[in-house]
């Protein structure tokens, strides 16, 4: 077992619990929680290596012939054009939300968005807690509900996708129990909007997002980070749009940190600071890619995936340290100047600079840029 991974998982839970009763200094709370989230999520993203290997047509020798015959899982991988367009799409979405809050009733907008986030949050919380419940074994893993459902449709592929629609499902009892608990939690969140419940959903979004999504290559990751570097600077320093949306939107797009546990006499609410999920997830995608590159360099086996496997992690560790330093600088500048800061202004140079320096020192610059998780592209090259 990787003791640091176990410690990170425990830290996430303990910080969530203790912050409700003990006032933890804001900067320490933020750095500890974010570091724990990144360490855990990046290590769980090692499961992508197995899925990508199956997508390339490799066979898992640890599975039965029946399991080997199943179609390989589809992995989400960013393309170069997507990375280039991301800041533009993000800007359009951000400005759209700003206009919605400016020209429509704020409570109505938040009601609609809260319903959406509660639905998405239910899925994220289910995906996070189902594997935890499954560790108890017994009926949680042995009881299985599966059905193959395929529906043909006459719609063009660009509208309805490929025909038939595959609505098949395969659930264990752990999945069902996790879903029922998550559904009840999401309904309660929709009603209460408590900051503690917000953080549960926010943390789950971070963990599952980083775990399941691949940037494809280092170059694509660098393009995305550089684009969002300028995106963050413009919308924070150039306008009031980013800050207005972050403060107005009452949803789990941010993690909240209490600055006081005593409610305000007028509002009845405690003072909270926030960190947008994008400042965790976007660098998290990049750090997870570097960890999988470390595993690739160390020739760690795809089958079976062991997230606790021990191997050298020079790129991941240096980038994680760079991220922590970048976030620390962000906090210092924000507190010193008493003004909101675009975190990616400091995080992007820290992550890119640390990884490039590591590659330069180790003489692996070419290998870093050659590493690819783009399954389709690699298959085309083989053909």
Integer Cα distance of 343 and 334 in angstroms? 10
Q: Are 45 and 211 in contact (CB under 8 A)?
A: yes
pLDDT of the residue at 379: 46
DSSP string across 225-266: HHHHHHHHHIIIII-SHHHHHHHH--SSSEEEEES-SSPPTT
Residue 217, phi then psi, degrees to nearest 5: -140, 165
State how far the alpha carbon of 24 is from the alpha carbons of 10, 11, 19, 199, 322, in Å.
17, 13, 6, 15, 23
Cα–Cα separations (whole angstroms), residue 150 to 49, 55, 92, 165, 354: 29, 22, 36, 5, 48
Q: Give the span between the Cα atoms of 57 and 71, in whole angstroms.
A: 10
From CA 75, how far away is CA 103, in angstroms rounded? 39
List beta partners, residue 166. 150
Q: Is 88 helix (H, G, I), strand (E, B) or coil?
A: helix
What's the pLDDT at 72? Answer: 67
Predicted TM-score (pTM) of the model is: 0.90
82 catalytic per annotation: no
**Residue 146 DSSP one-character state:** E
Nearest partner of 279 among 311, 257, 298, judged by Cα: 257
Exposed, middle or buried by CB within 10 Å (0-12, 13-18, 19+), for 214?
buried
Q: Which of 60, 107, 279, 294 is catalytic?
A: 279
Give the model confidence (pLDDT) of 279-324 as tens digits: 999 999 999 999 999 999 999 988 888 899 999 999 999 999 999 9
Q: Within the chain, which residues score under 50 in pLDDT?
A: 377-383
Annotated catalytic residue within 232, 250, 294, 383: 232
CA atoms within 13 A on the CB side of 280: 30
What was the pLDDT predicted at 381? 45
Query: Which two tokens mark 283?
Result: 């660098």
SS3 at position 45:
coil
Residue 302: how many CA atoms within 13 Å on its side-chain side?
16
For 105-133, the three-class secondary structure string (H helix, E strand, C coil) is: CHHHHHHHHHHHHHHHHHHHHHHHHHHHH
């Amino acid at each position: 077992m990787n003791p640091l991974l176990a410690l990170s998982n425990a830290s996430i839970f303990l910080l969530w619990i203790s912050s409700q009763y003990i006032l933890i200094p804001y900067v320490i709370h933020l750095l500890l929680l974010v570091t724990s989230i990144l360490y855990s999520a990046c290590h769980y993203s090692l499961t992508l290596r197995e899925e990508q290997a199956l997508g390339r047509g490799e066979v898992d020798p640890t599975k039965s012939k029946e399991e080997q015959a199943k179609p390989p899982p589809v992995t989400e991988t960013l393309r170069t054009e997507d990375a280039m367009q991301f800041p533009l799409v993000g800007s359009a979405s951000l400005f759209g939300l700003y206009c919605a809050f400016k020209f429509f009733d704020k409570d109505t907008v938040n009601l609609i968005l809260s319903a959406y986030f509660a639905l998405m949050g239910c899925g994220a919380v289910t995906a996070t807690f189902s594997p935890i419940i499954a560790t108890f074994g017994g009926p949680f893993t042995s009881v299985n509900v599966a059905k193959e459902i395929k529906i043909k449709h006459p719609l063009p592929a660009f509208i309805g996708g490929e025909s038939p629609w595959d609505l098949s499902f395969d659930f264990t009892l752990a999945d069902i129990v996790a879903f029922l608990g998550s559904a009840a939690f999401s309904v309660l969140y929709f009603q209460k909007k408590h900051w503690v419940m917000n953080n549960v959903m926010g943390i789950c979004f971070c963990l599952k997002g980083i775990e399941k999504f691949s940037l494809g290559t280092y170059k694509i990751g660098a393009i995305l980070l550089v684009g969002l570097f300028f995106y963050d600077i413009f919308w924070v320093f150039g306008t009031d749009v980013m800050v207005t949306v972050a403060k107005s939107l009452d949803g789990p797009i941010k993690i909240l940190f209490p600055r006081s546990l005593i409610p305000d006499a007028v509002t009845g609410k405690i003072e909270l600071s926030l960190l947008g999920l994008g400042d965790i997830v976007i660098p998290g995608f990049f750090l997870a890619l570097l960890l999988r590159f470390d595993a690739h360099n160390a020739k760690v086996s795809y089958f079976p995936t062991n997230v606790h496997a021990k191997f050298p992690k020079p790129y991941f560790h240096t980038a994680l340290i760079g991220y922590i330093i970048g976030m620390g600088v962000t906090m210092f500048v924000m507190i010193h100047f008493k003004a909101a800061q675009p975190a990616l202004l400091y995080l992007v140079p820290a992550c890119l600079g640390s990884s490039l320096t590591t590659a330069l020192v180790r003489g692996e610059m070419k290998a870093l840029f050659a590493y690819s998780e783009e399954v389709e592209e690699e298959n085309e090259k083989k053909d």
